[in-house]
Amino acid sequence: MNVFDFTQSRILVTGGAGFIGSALVWDLNQRGVDDIIVADFLGQDEKWKNLVPLRFNDYLEGDDLIRRIEAGDPAFNDIELVFHLGACSATTERDAAYLIRNNFEYTKTLAKWALAHDARFVYASSAATYGDGAAGMSDLEIDLGAFRPLNMYGYSKHLFDVYAARHGFLDGIVGLKYFNVYGPNEDHKGEMRSLVHKAYRQIVDTGSVRLFKSHRPDYRDGEQMRDFLYVKDAVGLTLELAETPTAGGLFNVGSGRAHTWIELATAIFEALDRPPKIEFIEMPEALRGKYQYFTRADLTKLRGYCKNVELTPLKDAVADYVRNYLVPGRHLGDEVAEPTPEPAVAAASAGGI
């Protein structure tokens, strides 16, 4: 089996200034790859800062990219690999028309173009397509019609999965059902930031972390469970699937383990060398019917293709994120700026113990 050679390929990364997209470009740079076109919608937030330490050949706004592709611009004809990671990922977004245009129609156009130009197409689906998990969370023998996403974001992702399957090309592309990814370069995501990022800020400012109470009798407060995946592992798995020509269809991309919110919060306190202090608050009414109480990726299919990526244990990943990125305020690519601080010193510099 031949392996896709990134060093000999021209690569397009949409959402390349975003969280997972910029981490992917960083990982490619680590491998000596910089023949990359980055596309995104920079807007008015500060995700442009994710691009500053990275190496790539060109940047395009997302609407310019799609316009030029639809016009048949030959400048893109030598692209051999497309990572389509750009999307509106806000689970609270209520403008359904916007999500259809941005997440569904854009993906259809780019996928059709990639297939017509014999370029490998790897795109971000989402674990949000599974809904509450009543139909399972397995990527083996998937019955897409059984899934009931709980929010419009999840449905916009689900629509493309279904479209690709119905039009017979899903097995010729790679769809990534990312679970709860966290790590460096998510600063710009606002309320969609991971709990690690939010909790770090809360701990520095108040000394404690606030978690939602449970509104189901089978889960105690803070014992709602998620499959948390470090972004460095997420992009490592993504690249291994991309470079394996026989990999096709939908893949769960997670850690394969479910941890409670309390376990995650405790790991953050440990990274800062502080005793845990957790408060439980009421979950907003608007979220209660859309809240996932348990997620865990079934990695059976993924493990059949990804044999070279060792996943980072939760405590180690959280410690790396907190101590090497959040405390010193670094982005991926800034790692050599200064030595890693000791936990107590780092916490003091970030707001005091």
> Does residue 301 carry a catalytic annotation?
no
Query: What sign does the CA torsion over 183, 123, 155, 71 have?
Result: positive
| Per-residue confidence (pLDDT) for residue 150, from 0 to 100 | 84
The dihedral formed by the CA atoms of 138, 142, 144 and 150, expressed in degrees to the nearest 10? -10
| Per-residue confidence (pLDDT) for residue 26, from 0 to 100 | 98
Question: Residue 138: CB partners within 8 Å, gap ≥ 6?
Answer: 252, 298, 300
Please answer whether residues 167 and 181 qualify as being in contact, where contact means their C-beta atoms are separated by less than 8 angstroms: no
Identify the active-site residue in 123, 130, 153, 182. 153
Amino acid at 178: Y
**pLDDT averages per 10-residue partition of the chain, 353 residues:** 77 97 98 96 94 98 95 94 92 87 93 96 91 81 84 91 96 95 96 94 96 93 95 97 95 96 97 96 86 89 89 97 97 71 42 26
| Per-residue confidence (pLDDT) for residue 193, from 0 to 100 | 94
> Does residue 189 carry a catalytic annotation?
yes
Query: Cβ of 223: how many Cβ atoms within 10 Å?
Result: 15
| Per-residue confidence (pLDDT) for residue 351, from 0 to 100 | 32
Q: Name the superfamily (CATH) of residues 6-182+227-256+295-303.
A: NAD(P)-binding Rossmann-like Domain (3.40.50.720)
| Per-residue confidence (pLDDT) for residue 75, from 0 to 100 | 92
| Per-residue confidence (pLDDT) for residue 133, from 0 to 100 | 78
| Per-residue confidence (pLDDT) for residue 132, from 0 to 100 | 78
| Per-residue confidence (pLDDT) for residue 282, from 0 to 100 | 93
Fold exhibited by the domain 187-225+259-293+314-350: UDP-galactose 4-epimerase; domain 1 (3.90.25)
| Per-residue confidence (pLDDT) for residue 292, from 0 to 100 | 81
Distance from C-alpha of 188 to C-alpha of 182, rounded to nearest angstrom: 13
Distance from C-alpha of 181 to C-alpha of 312, rounded to nearest angstrom: 12
| Per-residue confidence (pLDDT) for residue 6, from 0 to 100 | 87
Identify the active-site residue in 49, 108, 112, 189. 189
For residue 210, the Cα-to-chain-centroid distance in whole angstroms is 23
Give me 203's structure tokens.
């701990």
User: Is-same-fold flag (6-182+227-256+295-303; 187-225+259-293+314-350)?
Assistant: no
For the chain, the structural domain boundaries read: 6-182+227-256+295-303, 187-225+259-293+314-350
- Residue 182 three-state SS: strand
Q: What are phi and psi of 81, to 5 degrees?
A: -145, 130
| Per-residue confidence (pLDDT) for residue 336, from 0 to 100 | 63
